[in-house]
Structure 1
Amino acid sequence: MPGNDVNEGTAGQDRAPSPAVARALTVLETLVESDEGMTLTALAKRTNIPLATCASIVYTLEQRGYAQRRVVGRSHFWRPTLRLYGLATQLVRKVDLSSVAQRELRELADVVGMPVHIGVLTGASVVYVAKAATPGFIQFDTYPGKVAPFNLTALGKAIAAHLPERDLEPLLTQLTPGRGPRAAEPTREAFLSELAGVRKRGYAVEDEEEQAEIACVAAPFFDAGGLVGGAVGVTGFSRDLAGQRRKEAIAGVVEIGRTVSRKLGFDDLR
């Protein structure tokens, strides 16, 4: 019976430390998940929250700028606003990417015996913001704070492959020629084709393009809004980053990319 449905639907909220907060969050989450505006009646039915309570919540959300209504005839349709995204963006800015997945970076570095990095895009450059190094005499010059042309690193390619067109377009005029033996003359068409391959595979590869004997693989991570936030990569000698070790490195950066995405609030992983 309908009455039983309401009781069952609100039981979990009533058991919450603050039932009022639980109901407000349920209403907000339902508005965000809906593909179109919802009337109060539909919202109350979907959430199993009494109509009067649902109305109070929605009016409060409207007052605080988290919801807005569109009037069509005698009906009012409610939708969430981007103010919630503004809060998420502020939170993401406060996340310390250098430590958000340090344990995972360390574990992968130990498995493949090569340094693992996190990089973000700044203009047409990739900036290394975190590194898990490996012990030994040979150390790669990939320190936090290092800057490299975005199109000559797997990190940069992994990020660029998922940029909105409006953000990618200006970068296509700033392609830097590589100094490595496998570097080709950078062209818009060739780079766009490579980015399509990155999106299809889920990871990027750079092999002796920026400089001789050095290769890297990288996978992107995404923020709460679904925008690419950066990439995770492994760097090593080309002769070492091959065969089974390359497969392990690729699997590792893809998994860490998913981990970082989850920690940043992205929940649409494929």
Structure 2
Amino acid sequence: MDDRSKSAERPASPGVDRALTVLECLVEADEELTLTALAKVTNIPLATCASIVYTLEQRGYASRRVVGRSHFWRPTLRLYGLASQLVRDTDLSRVATGEMRALADRLGMPVHMGVLDGHSVVYVAKAATPGFVQFDTYSGKIAPFNLTALGRAIAAYLDPDELDPLLSKLTPGRGPNAPKGGKKAFRALLETVREQGYAVEQEEEQAEISCVAAPFFGIDGSVAGALGVTGFARDLTPDQMRVAAAGLVDLTTEVSRRLGCPPESLPSVVPVS
């Protein structure tokens, strides 16, 4: 949980900021929290924290379990319902449904579309492949931006004032190739992404899973999201990675065109061979 007391900027509405902090804390917690624990973690006065969770309960965003004199709080799925509705209503998820399906069938691997939300990537669409083995990816999934090819592809084309705050949110990976460098190493990685036009992630977020992704751009020429392919590391060999990258770059160029991005605003990259 972020230490909001150290923030250099005073929020426009301290009350809303505190309410969101409590809600985020409940969602991110691994277990139910007592009111005292919640106030301590969020650094919000106990009485204020109580008012917030009672309001969240009245609105259906939190519930409590009473054990003796202790009340244990947890979030409800109402927030998920709002997020799911937002994902369903996102036009981006329908921009290239057919082409995503065709690429997934050609590669034999699922194709995803993701957008940046804060320091996380949100999956807004997926073209799955048939078969018994399915990856734990779905519309609405959230992942750290720096540990996914989708997030790296987007981050590489952010303006400095958008990228700089994210660099303090680098999440450690759990895979055997988890990156050990800090901000400087990640900036160098993003430079490579810009040079080749696509991003890769190889067993960094988790073991045996790799991915490759390319960015697409909106009507104002700014990066709007990314399309990526996920597969087992043993299947995404260097040759297959290049094939997937070439297909993704072609597809993201078309998606950018459909979103109204002027051709001259697209980045100039070396063609994937």
Look up the equivalent residue of 1:133 and give its one-letter code.
Answer: A
Matched, 1:97 2:92: yes
Tell me the C-alpha RMSD between the 2 structures.
1.1
**Hey, what does 2:116 align to over in structure 1?**
121
Percentage of pairs with the same residue: 63
**Hey, what does 1:225 align to over in structure 2?**
220
Look up the equivalent residue of 1:172 and give its one-letter code.
Answer: L
Matched, 1:171 2:166: yes
**Hey, what does 2:194 align to over in structure 1?**
199
| Aligned partners of 1:206 and 1:217 also within 8 Å | yes
Cα offset for 1:263?
0.6
Normalised by the length of structure 2, the TM-score is 0.63
The CA deviation string for residues 93-128 of structure 1, in whole angstroms up to 9 with x for no partner, is: x86111100111001100110000000000000000
**Hey, what does 1:141 align to over in structure 2?**
136
Cα offset for 1:184?
2.2
**Hey, what does 1:63 align to over in structure 2?**
none
Matched, 1:238 2:229: no
| Aligned partners of 1:120 and 1:229 also within 8 Å | yes
Normalised by the length of structure 1, the TM-score is 0.64
Look up the equivalent residue of 1:128 and give its one-letter code.
Answer: Y
| Aligned partners of 1:161 and 1:195 also within 8 Å | yes
The CA deviation string for residues 228-249 of structure 1, in whole angstroms up to 9 with x for no partner, is: 0000000000010113322221
Look up the equivalent residue of 2:207 and give its one-letter code.
Answer: A
Distance in 1, Cα, partners of 2:135 & 2:96: 20
Distance in 1, Cα, partners of 2:156 & 2:228: 15
Distance in 1, Cα, partners of 2:94 & 2:115: 14
* Residue of structure 1 aligned with 2:154, choices 152, 156, 159: 159
Distance in 1, Cα, partners of 2:113 & 2:96: 9
Q: Larger Cα Rg: Structure 1 or Structure 2?
A: 1
Matched residue count = 177
